[in-house]
Structure 1
Amino acid sequence: MTATAATSEGAAPTPTPPPATPAAASFVTKPWPVALGYIGASIIIGLTQGLAQGFVSTNIPQVAGDLGITTTQATWLMAAFMIPRASMPLLLIKIRTQFGLRRFAEVAIFIYLAVSLAAFAISDLRSAVLVQFCAGMASAPLSTLAFMYMLEPLPPQWKMRFGLPMVLAVVATGPMLARVISPALMGDNGWDGLHYMALGMAAVSLALVYALPLTSQPRVKVLAAADLLSWLLIAIGFGGLTVSFVMGSIHWWTDTEWLGWTLALSIVALTVAVVIELHRKAPLLDIRWLASPAMLHLTVTLLIFRLVLSEQSSGAPRMFQVLGITQDQLVGLFGVISVASILGGLALVPFMKAERVPLFHIIALVLIAAGAFMDSHATQDTRPAQMMLSQAMIAFAGAFFLAPAMMRGLLAALARGPNYILSFVIVFLSTQSLGGAMGSGLFSTLINHRQALHLQVLREELTAADPLTTAEIAQRSAALAPQIADAALRRAQAVAQIAQDASAQAYVMAYNDAYFLTFLVAVAALAALLLHLFRDWLAERMKPLFAAARPHPESDI
């Protein structure tokens, strides 16, 4: 997943360049039909990976019904898919370097196709969890391949400016696009419809990988036994954190003993990995550089932003589910979100420069704060059409933030040498993968806590002595008279309806609290960024004054 992995050195010159203008000629290093083929392959492979992730998280209730299990049990499928995603790319980068990019691409896509075929053998929860874990491992290289194919036909000046924002936007669009096409795919075939789609995408990706080979760089033996040990410890740590945050809000943190042990094991594994890496001459990760102020600042920035973006993946879809909105009714909303993500990547292309990164981040934080504030006024009557603008703003901001942040990190790594790219990549991947799991878990935890609080307050207000409550019960009982003859049953049904409405109202109020907290975090991050920029500006302005006030060496003679 590095911007340097597909350099212009391997791009063969073309004897008959087809572009008609100098500007067009400088945009690609291959003939236009071939270049468009590589870009199209990148889009297909990126969507294949994104759809695989989105199919699981989007259809948990439907999958639970197909397998005859509870929704809580089905959530393990999402956890199993996410566990290897945070750590696998770290090892894959070294595998790619040692065994060659071309072989890596062919083997990776073939394994993914085999796993897609294995999905048809799922018969129970255990087989489903095993297949999803393998799918998570097999799909991890696809993000890398999407980057490689997007960057392959582009000259160096366009790799960061066009390739990086576009491939990030495509990868981010995949899970949202899964919500658009899932209802049509599920139909009467259930989960098999999703398997057929995943298998078809994998087959197309396999054909593209073999038809459009990537330019291989010289192989270098970089894997060592200590690398495998460090990676295993990091994988255990990241996997434990993923499971804890995915399942924590479901089983509740303080009620389940194994959650605490899982978190403790994760911390111990990561601590041991850090100790080992600090004492190696050729470490897998440069911990000292990662702990530098600049990298810590970038890491915290990426993590906070990923947590804030959880409002989109864990907020609106689940709130509408509580309100009884079906997946079919959410197709339009997530179609708009998908388009907004792509537009966010395209909007960066004309302006993508390293010195403009703070401006991009300011715009992104303003859009997120505005969108979250708009969402915080939801009611039980809110429908998807009323949140299209706010959710589109947040999706646009997501694409507008990630590419400049990754560009800044890659440039910082390249300034110190190619060996530092691997260290940055793990920072970027861990903040995105772990940040996504953490954000979803913390968001759900906050929702559950605030819903219980609001429901308790509403129940205290809905007492039999309250005249408004008594009038509402009487009105609903009268409305039920044509359906239920017994007066006592009508009253009981009316009371049950009011309790159900109170529960839904409590959930909406809880989501509003979460949306407003997202708004506050975005505003706080924006204020911190502006203060940081003001400090840097002030330091630059004060440099001449300090230089003038400093005594010259001649004055001491």
Structure 2
Amino acid sequence: MSSTTVAADGDAPDAKPAAAPPRAPAYPPLQGGARVAGTLALSLATFMTVLDTSIANVSIPAISGDLGVSPQQGTWVITSFGVANAIAVPLTGWLTQRFGQVRLFTASIVLFVIASWLCGLAPNIESLIAFRVFQGLVSGPMIPLSLTLLLASYPPAKAGLAMALWAMTTMVAPVVGPLLGGWLTDNLSWPWIFFINIPVGLFAAALTWSIYRSRDPGPKRVPVDAVGLGLLVLWVGALQIMVDKGKELDWFSSTQIVVLAIVAVIGFLFFLAWELTDRHPIVDLRLFGRRNFVLGTTALSVAYGVFFGNVVLLPLWLQQWMGYTATWAGMVTAPVGILAIALSPWVGKNVGRMDPRKLATVAFLGFGLVLWMRAQFNTQVTPGVILLPIMLQGAAMAFFFVPLQAIIFSGLKPEQMPAASGLSNFVRITAGAIGTSLFTTLWDNRASLHHAHLVEAISAGSHDATTQAMLAQLAAAGQSAEQANATLNRLIDQQAYTMAVTDVFHLSALLFIALIVLLWLAAPRSAGAGGAADAGGAH
């Protein structure tokens, strides 16, 4: 995972395209202050982009009220960005060849700043959604290219450290996003969730260009795969809208969701057939012919989907059923970054010396333990008990991204890196969206089941001493019979949703343990591999 060729991973030879792309020129690693400044610039751009995937979530009520639309219409502010971003990310490889790495990355930052400014100035929901689509499209190449440029800035022996620094920004930003978004909305106004990108983006773009402009191989004339692009937009757009709207529309009981699912499946099959036979595909699906790439990407994506689904569920449960405000829920979950930041450099330093499959196993076992601990929560759980697994989750996160990225990129040539990074990030981001939707739906379904069982049990024992004592206590507090029943129903709901969320935590723990098997199907590192990039090398 550096600017030099990495050892093959022992797979069957890749299927060769008709015309192999020329090798990109190799640039020496950056030194001293230039490397520090380059890392800062790339990290800021990554942080800003990842932040925007979650910063608007808590601001939807304010945006909807200010623009005079329903909260359901307001959610398109999130959906539109996600759809556009999901379409743009896998195009990174082709766009890099067409415009050059540094030109594309810097232009993406500048365009992202412009899009953010337009979002903040949007006078109505239609224009805001249009500007969010623009923002999602231009941000697509930023995350994959930030990793590619960062790896080329470090010598092969320090590639693991580079990955660790990159991973810290992608781990911390989703946690900070809702907290910062809520604070800006409450203390300033919702446009500031977009305006905050302007100074950060301009600084990152200027710093990136000043350091990396001489390290760009430049643009090349490459054919435009218009059919492939059209099919990509069709099936990814349909899939993303289906995932975002599935829970709201009760999934496949909705004709709209059924139609979207059919379009997504048929579009994907045509896309697959076209890209695997086209001379100049817009997405290099041949990468999935590599053993470590497909296994590493699958393990990372499924695990990220489970992880991100639980990251969304915990604050929802705390706010909706445990009486936490948005700020307090953010503060309780924020310490997750402490051990992640502390341990990531150690993991990055040692991933080249240790089998990355062992390090990733530590992450999956850690997540399994954390989720098992959460599965013991009840309605009387204290903030201290909630904090312990959150702290431990940070340690698991430190062992998560870096070893799995080492497995994914093992054996790839430098010119394959942008396409591989874009493709793996696309699958991961899509899995995160699917995981969030599926886990919130499962939570609601399990809560309904538990609610029915609890009501049945209370109805059967409506004359027992406990029920009568509670109703008498509520009546003594001045509540009417109707109010007392409503209070009792709220308590039942709280218990049902708590039982449901622990069900999800139990299932998630088991999924992480099961995923360990997938890790060990990947190829081990070759005996002579010395750098982090070689992790998962030849048989």
Cα distance 1:41–1:334, how it changes in 2: closer, same or farther (>3 A)? farther
The 10-residue stretch of structure 1 (77-86 or 346-355) with the greater mean CA deviation from structure 2: 346-355
Alignment of structure 1 residues 364-513 onto 2, 5 Å: 364-414=363-413, 420-421=416-417, 424-463=420-459, 464-479=462-477, 481=478, 490-513=480-503
Matched, 1:523 2:513: yes
Residue 554 of structure 1 is matched in structure 2 by: none
Q: Could you tell me how far apart the structure 2 residues matched to 1:216 and 1:294 are? A: 29
Instruction: Tell me the distance in 2 between the aligned counterparts of 1:284 and 1:400.
Output: 33
For residues 222 and 313 of structure 2, the distance between their equivalents in structure 1, rounded to whole angstroms, comes to 42
What are the equivalent positions in structure 2 for 1:90-129 lying under 5 Å apart? 90-129=90-129
Q: Which residue of 1 aligns with 2:30?
A: 29
Determine the structure 1 residue equivalent to 2:173.
Answer: 174
Map 1:128-207 → 2, pairs under 5 A: 128-148=128-148, 150-151=150-151, 153-158=153-158, 160-207=159-206
Percent identity, please.
Answer: 19
1:235–1:422 CA distance, 2 compared to 1 (3 A): farther
- Secondary structure of the structure 1 residue equivalent to 2:411: helix
Structure 1: how far apart are the matches of 2:336 and 2:179?
A: 10
TM-score (norm: length of structure 1) = 0.83
Once the two structures are superposed, what CA deviation does each residue of 1:272-326 show, in whole Å capped at 9, x if it has no partner? Answer: 1111122223434454552565544334322321222124322211111212311
Q: What letter matches 1:506 in structure 2?
A: A
Amino acid at match of 2:484: A
Q: Is the 8 A contact 1:374 1:390 kept in 2?
A: yes
Q: Is the 8 A contact 2:49 2:143 kept in 1?
A: yes
Amino acid aligned to 1:10: Y
Counterpart CA distance in 1 for 2:353 and 2:66 is 49
Q: What amino acid maps onto 1:275 in structure 2? A: A
**CA root-mean-square deviation:** 2.8
Say whether residues 1:10 and 2:35 are aligned partners.
no
Which residue in the other structure is 1:21 paired with? none
**Shift in alpha-carbon separation, 1:60–1:374, aligned structure 2, 3 A:** farther
CA distance in 2, matches of 1:411, 1:528: 16
SS at match of 1:55: coil
Structure-2 change in CA distance of 1:343 and 1:383 (3 Å)? same
Q: Which runs of 5+ in 2 are unaligned?
A: 6-23, 526-539
Aligned residue for 1:247? 245
Q: Which has the higher contact order (CA 8 A, sep 6+)?
A: 2
CA distance in 2, matches of 1:214, 1:354: 33
* C-alpha contact (below 8 Å) 1:410/1:421 kept by paired residues: yes
CA distance in 1, matches of 2:386, 2:311: 14
Match of 2:264 in 1: 266
Q: Aligned in 2, Cα 1:292/1:352: closer, same or farther, shift over 3 Å?
A: closer
List runs of 5+ in structure 1 lacking aligned partners. Answer: 12-27, 482-488, 538-557
Name the residue aligned to 1:544.
none
Q: Aligned AA for 1:448?
A: D
* Cα shift at 1:152: 5.0
Distance 1:76 1:105 in 2: 27
Aligned counterpart, 2:59: 59
Correspondence 1:201-216 to 2 at 5 A? 201-216=200-215
Residue in structure 1 matching 2:316, options 293, 301, 318 = 318
Do 1:312 and 1:391's aligned partners in 2 also have CA atoms closer than 8 Å? no
2:120 touches 2:192 (CA, 8 Å); kept in 1?
no
Distance 1:265 1:60, change over 3 A: same
Q: CA deviation at 1:384?
A: 4.4
1:529 & 1:150 partners in 2: Cα distance? 25
Distance 2:395 2:58 in 1: 21
Give per-residue Cα distances to partners, 1:134-154, cap 9 Å, x unaligned.
221222233245335534542
Cα distance between partner residues in 1 of 2:45 and 2:518: 37
Partner Cα distance (2:487, 2:464) in 1: 17
Q: In 2 relative to 1, CA 190–474 (structure 1 residues): closer, same or farther, beyond 3 Å?
A: farther
Task: For residue 249 of structure 1, report the CA deviation from its aligned partner.
Answer: 1.6
* CA distance 1:129–1:273, shift in 2 (3 Å): same
Query: 2:464 and 2:356 mapped to 1: Cα distance?
Result: 57
Contact 1:237 1:269 in 2 (8 A): yes
